[in-house]
């Protein structure tokens, strides 16, 4: 009887432990545990066995938690730099690089002085040097290239894709860049010069010339032979592009379709004959939008004769999206995209001051509106404290409309044919929000001042300013986009000016009309 009771208690504890560990144990371990439980149910167990198994369970849980803590532990760049400085041999460095991601290592290299950086670099193979250089930021890339001779730089760059090489040579010292290009192999240098010839923010500026393209009449068996030779030197092998005799893009084939097809199947028979592609001069933001819309992993770049010139990979698109989002956010705040958190104070001053001067001018404009009603304000002094509420709420409502509109424009969601319908909807949103906020704020002001007409003025001014703010928040970016001007650049300044001026104008005009009721 005692054994049965112990058995029931053990089963309960064991099942609870299994439930707590269901997200941590592998399916194989879970299956094994269940089998053990079934075996236990068919046998007699003693108290000693129960305690022993409970102890084993606790130890397993404790060990797993320690492993998880070790996995979650991350070292800072400074800590990694200290570890790297202790490395003395090539073997030690090779093992360290195998255990750590190249991005983390590149960040830690920023903490090293030039002499220590070059000492570590000398212990690395050219392929590993290329991996670090590719992941480094622009400042570190420039440091490394400047410290290397042209010949050493060329050896390292030979392991990198042409688009990455073009990016590096595009922002380092122009004389150093020319010197490296002149010493490169002619074929390699010509590819780099071609990429450098495209605008930085176009499809040509972010594409790579490493891709695989075969003619449509090629059979699968021949394709597989060629792939074994070409694949090691190509960035993307999952997608094969198909061309005709004129080298025009006519389709694309997934590598999986090639692998499951018979040897005598021709590419033209298994290809997708409607590939998505972009022109070489297209803006990178349009390319990112196309990739996002169709969930593409790679997109070919062609000229207007549909001759393929290169490809853009998903990693480059992610960089574009991050770059464009950062640029828009900074422009909305009146800050240059060139400024960073670690920029020098003088550079930050020069970048921010022009927009602040413009804001100062708009502030004078708002002050001029207030001056027009100075007589009214002098008679009812409390107006000066209430009018900031109206302008502030208008600014907030306008910013909401502005943010939604700029996002829609960036994603290509706005169809100018639907503008009238959106204007009507924006008007209603402003009116309803203005009315609700006006009732709330007007009631508070009425209770505070003991004057019904003061509350009524606040209500009417709130409705009017929020309607105007929402309309301006939508119309300004739409208008700037139609004028081929970046909406993020000037929208915020215009919006702030409009909501302040109209807010003061509406509120003080109404106060003037009801002046006899307020005094």
Q: What is the three-state SS of 267-320?
A: HHHHCECCCCCEECCCEHHHHHHHHHHHCCCEEEEECCCCEEEEEEEHHHHHHH
Q: Which residue has the tokens 């400042």?
A: 139
- The per-residue pLDDT for 40 is 45
Contacts for 341 with CB less than 8 Å, ≥ 6 apart: none
CA–CA gap between residue 190 and residue 441 (Å, rounded):
68
* 469 contacts 431 by C-beta, under 8 angstroms: no
In terms of pLDDT, which residue wins out, 334 or 222?
Answer: 222
- Give one DSSP letter per residue of 158-212, joined into a string: TTS-HHHHHHHHHHS-HHHHHHHHHHS-HHHHHHHHHHHTS-TTBHHHH-BS---
Instruction: Indicate if the pLDDT at residue 184 is higher than 70.
Output: yes
Instruction: Indicate if the pLDDT at residue 440 is higher than 90.
Output: yes
Specify the range with the lowest mean pLDDT, choosing from 21-30, 234-243, 296-305: 21-30
Positive or negative: CA dihedral 379, 380, 384, 385: positive
Instruction: Indicate if the pLDDT at residue 9 is higher than 60.
Output: no
Q: How many CB atoms lie within 10 A of CB 337?
A: 14
- The per-residue pLDDT for 251 is 94
| 4, 11, 66, 105 from 71: Cα distances, Å | 42, 32, 9, 18
For 92-138, the pLDDT digits (tens) are 888 888 888 888 888 888 888 888 888 888 888 888 888 889 888 88
**Exposed/middle/buried for 168, CB within 10 Å: 0-12, 13-18, 19+?**
buried
Positive or negative: CA dihedral 418, 421, 424, 426: negative
SS3 81: helix
Specify the range with the lowest mean pLDDT, choosing from 15-29, 50-64, 272-286: 15-29
SS3 115: helix
**Nearest of 382, 377, 379, 407 to residue 474 by alpha carbon:** 407
Tokens representing 418 are: 């639907």
For 300-322, the pLDDT digits (tens) are 999 999 999 999 998 888 888 88
Specify the range with the lowest mean pLDDT, choosing from 77-81, 177-181, 377-381: 77-81
Mean pLDDT across the stretch 253-262?
Answer: 91
**Exposed/middle/buried for 483, CB within 10 Å: 0-12, 13-18, 19+?**
exposed
Residues 475, 476, 477: CA angle, nearest 5 degrees? 100
- The per-residue pLDDT for 59 is 65
Q: Which of 322-336, 447-461, 474-488 has the highest mean pLDDT?
A: 447-461
For 391-401, the pLDDT digits (tens) are 999 999 999 99
Pairing of strands 239-243, 213-215: parallel
Partners of 298 in the beta sheet? Answer: 313
Find the Cα–Cα–Cα–Cα dihedral 10, 12, 16, 17, rounded to 10°.
Answer: 10
- The per-residue pLDDT for 47 is 62
Mean pLDDT across the stretch 374-388?
Answer: 89
- In Å, how far from its chain's centre is CA 61? 38
- The per-residue pLDDT for 247 is 87
Instruction: Indicate if the pLDDT at residue 480 is higher than 70.
Output: yes
Sequence-distant contacts of 436-444: CB under 8 A, at least 24 apart: 437/393, 437/462, 437/466, 438/462, 438/463, 441/389, 441/393
Find the Cα–Cα–Cα–Cα dihedral 206, 298, 486, 493, rounded to 10°.
Answer: -100
Q: Which residue has the tokens 């236990």?
A: 40
Mean pLDDT across the stretch 361-368?
Answer: 88
- The per-residue pLDDT for 49 is 60
Mean pLDDT across the stretch 68-80?
Answer: 63
**Nearest of 365, 325, 298 to residue 500 by alpha carbon:** 365
Partners of 299 in the beta sheet? Answer: 312
Specify the range with the lowest mean pLDDT, choosing from 12-16, 346-350, 376-380, 511-515: 12-16
Mean pLDDT across the stretch 473-486?
Answer: 85
Tokens representing 75 are: 């070292």
pTM as predicted: 0.64
Q: Which residue has the tokens 């094994």?
A: 32
Tokens representing 170 are: 């595009």
* Ramachandran category for residue 392: left, alpha or beta (phi over 0 → left; psi -120 to 50 → alpha): alpha
For 258-292, the pLDDT digits (tens) are 999 998 999 999 999 999 999 999 999 889 889 98
| 20, 61, 485 from 23: Cα distances, Å | 8, 12, 52
- The per-residue pLDDT for 26 is 46
In terms of pLDDT, which residue wins out, 213 or 493?
Answer: 213
Residues 352, 411, 137: CA angle, nearest 5 degrees? 50
Beta strands in 216-282 (DSSP E): 239-243, 249-254, 278-279
Q: How many CB atoms lie within 10 A of CB 246?
A: 9
CA–CA gap between residue 40 and residue 37 (Å, rounded):
5
């Amino acid at each position: 009887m005692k054994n049965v009771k112990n058995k029931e208690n053990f089963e309960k504890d064991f099942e609870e432990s299994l439930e707590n560990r269901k997200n941590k144990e592998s399916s194989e371990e879970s299956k094994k545990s269940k089998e053990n439980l079934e075996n236990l149910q068919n046998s007699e167990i003693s108290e000693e066995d129960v305690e022993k198994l409970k102890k084993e369970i606790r130890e397993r849980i404790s060990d797993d938690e320690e492993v998880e803590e070790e996995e979650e532990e991350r070292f800072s760049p400074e800590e990694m730099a200290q570890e790297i400085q202790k490395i003395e041999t090539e073997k030690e460095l090779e093992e360290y690089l195998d255990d750590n991601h190249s991005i983390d290592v590149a960040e830690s290299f920023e903490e090293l002085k030039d002499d220590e950086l070059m000492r570590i670099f000398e212990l690395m193979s050219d392929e590993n040097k290329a991996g670090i250089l590719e992941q480094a930021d622009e400042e570190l890339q420039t440091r490394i290239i400047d410290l290397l001779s042209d010949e050493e730089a060329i050896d390292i760059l030979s392991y990198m894709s042409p688009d990455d090489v073009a990016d590096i040579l595009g922002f380092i010292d122009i004389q150093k860049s020319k010197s490296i290009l002149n010493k490169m192999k002619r074929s390699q240098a010509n590819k780099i010069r071609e990429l450098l010839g495209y605008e930085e923010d176009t499809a040509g500026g972010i594409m790579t010339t490493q891709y695989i393209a075969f003619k449509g009449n090629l059979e699968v068996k021949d394709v597989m032979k060629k792939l074994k030779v070409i694949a090691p030197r190509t960035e993307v092998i999952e997608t094969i592009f198909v061309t005709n005799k004129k080298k025009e893009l006519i389709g694309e084939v997934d590598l999986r379709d090639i692998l499951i097809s018979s040897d005598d199947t021709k590419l033209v028979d298994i290809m997708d004959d409607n590939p998505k592609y972009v022109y070489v001069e297209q803006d990178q933001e349009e390319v990112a939008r196309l990739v996002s819309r169709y969930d593409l992993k790679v997109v070919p770049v062609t000229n207007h004769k549909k001759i393929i010139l290169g490809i853009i990979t998903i990693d480059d698109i992610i960089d574009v999206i991050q770059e464009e989002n950062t640029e828009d956010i900074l422009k909305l705040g009146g800050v240059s995209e060139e400024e960073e958190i670690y920029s020098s104070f003088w550079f930050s001053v020069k970048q921010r001051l022009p927009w602040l001067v413009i804001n100062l001018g708009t502030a004078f404009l708002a002050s001029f509106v207030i001056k027009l009603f100075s007589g009214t304000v002098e008679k009812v002094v409390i107006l000066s404290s209430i009018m900031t509420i109206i302008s502030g709420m208008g600014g907030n409502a306008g910013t909401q409309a502005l943010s939604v509109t700029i996002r829609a424009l960036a994603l290509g969601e706005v169809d100018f044919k639907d503008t009238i319908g959106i204007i009507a909807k924006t008007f209603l949103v402003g009116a309803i929000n203005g009315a609700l906020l006006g009732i709330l704020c007007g009631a508070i002001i009425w209770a505070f001042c003991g004057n019904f007409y003061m509350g009524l003025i606040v209500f009417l001014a709130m409705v009017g300013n929020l309607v105007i703010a929402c309309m301006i928040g939508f119309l300004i970016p739409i208008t700037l986009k139609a004028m081929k001007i970046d909406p993020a650049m000037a929208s915020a300044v215009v919006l702030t000016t409009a909501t302040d001026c109209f807010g003061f104008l509406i509120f003080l005009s109404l106060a003037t009309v009801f002046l006899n009721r307020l005094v």
